[in-house]
Amino acid sequence: MPQSTRRETLSVAVIGGGMAGLTCARTLLAHPEHQFAVQVFDNGREPGGRTATQQRDGYQFDAGAQYFTVHDPRFRRAVDAWRAAGLVAEWNGRLCVLENGIMSASEQKTRYVGVPGMSAVARHLASSCRVLRKTQVTHVHREGEHWRLLADAGTELGCYDVVVVAVPAPQAMALLGEAPRLATQVAAVKIVGCWAVLLAFAQPLSVPFDGAFVRDSALSWIARNNSKPGRGNAECWVLHGAPEWSEAHIDAAPEGVITWLIDAFRQATTCHIVKPIFAEAYRWRDAVPTTLLQEVCLFDPVLVIGACGDWCAGPRVEGAFVSGLALAEQILAQEGVK
């Protein structure tokens, strides 16, 4: 697709409704001449990816991303706008490091969370996008100068001028078969899974912290979810399995995962933890990028297809945002838009 100043509408398919995909979609739609018609496809009930908030039996949990920090000035501008709109707030929870029952101070930094859940930002970004939920794109085929998308059982999802693949790298590989240069680059990415255990208790737990990075344990992180702004008063905790432990038990039965990680919780906190009144295990099969790309995003200007995600720019909410923004900028530059 040669550079031009043409003004006809270009159709864009964004596969993935997490932070990277929604940021890319919103950036394209924000162009003042409205040159892009964007359709977002997401296989979840609600967009947000790992920033999704889980509602279970009246309890609320940030099952994936726990908070985010800010370094990039472009992300800073976005976060400032979200704060002004009441979508995010600082989390001033008491954080520490736990190792073999010994508690030490954690790194001091400003941490932000979505309000009333981590999914608040994704819902905001999705509010001005066309999002087709519960739809998993399984095939992306090149037909002439366009891309044809198919879902399960060969369901047609339409033809598009531009495709953005904004899903975890293993899923992206399956969609980039007809963009071999990009597929080869994505193949270098390594991602491991994570088990999350969601717990609710009848009374607050007697521990002197609200979140902890856990060392030398089956756990990597524990957090009192209700210590975050806007979460309510119910005593809810999120436990994240350590990457190595989660990967070794990725196909384990949820009941066993709950038992193992509650035991690890007791050992890490050296606290007698009463029986929870709610417990559920949630598996993130593609959770933590361990080998990243050096590129902030991928784009093939000839085939007009690209990929973005936190496996490009860094395994953080900010990384996903920056990657989606960078891909949108490359698409705009490709079209001669300044």
pLDDT tier, 248 (very low <50, low <70, confident <90, very high otherwise): very high
Q: What's the CA angle centered on 40, arms 250 and 143, to 5 degrees?
A: 100
Quote the pLDDT of residue 330: 96
Quote the pLDDT of residue 4: 44
42, 133 contact by CB (below 8 A): yes
Amino acid, res. 74: R
Please count the CA atoms within 13 angstroms of the CA of 187 that sit on its side-chain side.
Answer: 8
Nearest-angstrom CA–CA distance, 77 and 221: 29
On the question of pLDDT at 1 being above 50, the answer is no
Q: What is the pLDDT of residues 196-207, one digit of tens each?
A: 999 999 999 999
pLDDT tier, 209 (very low <50, low <70, confident <90, very high otherwise): very high
Quote the pLDDT of residue 198: 98
Nearest Cα residue to 287 out of 223, 199, 195, 215: 195
Nearest-angstrom CA–CA distance, 181 and 184: 5
Nearest Cα residue to 123 out of 210, 57, 47, 225: 47
Arithmetic mean of pLDDT, 146-158: 94
Taking the model in full, what pTM does it have?
0.94
Runs of H (alpha helix) within the chain:
19-29, 73-84, 120-126, 169-175, 180-186, 243-248, 254-269, 310-313, 317-334
Q: Who wins on pLDDT, 52 or 2?
A: 52
On the question of pLDDT at 294 being above 50, the answer is yes
Over pLDDT 70: what percentage of the chain? 97
Arithmetic mean of pLDDT, 322-330: 97
Residue 101: partners with Cβ closer than 8 Å, 6 or more residues away: 267, 268, 269, 270
Quote the pLDDT of residue 3: 47
pLDDT tier, 314 (very low <50, low <70, confident <90, very high otherwise): confident
43, 13 contact by CB (below 8 A): no
7-11, 177-181, 267-271, 324-328: the lowest-pLDDT one: 7-11
55-59, 174-178, 197-201, 317-321: the lowest-pLDDT one: 55-59
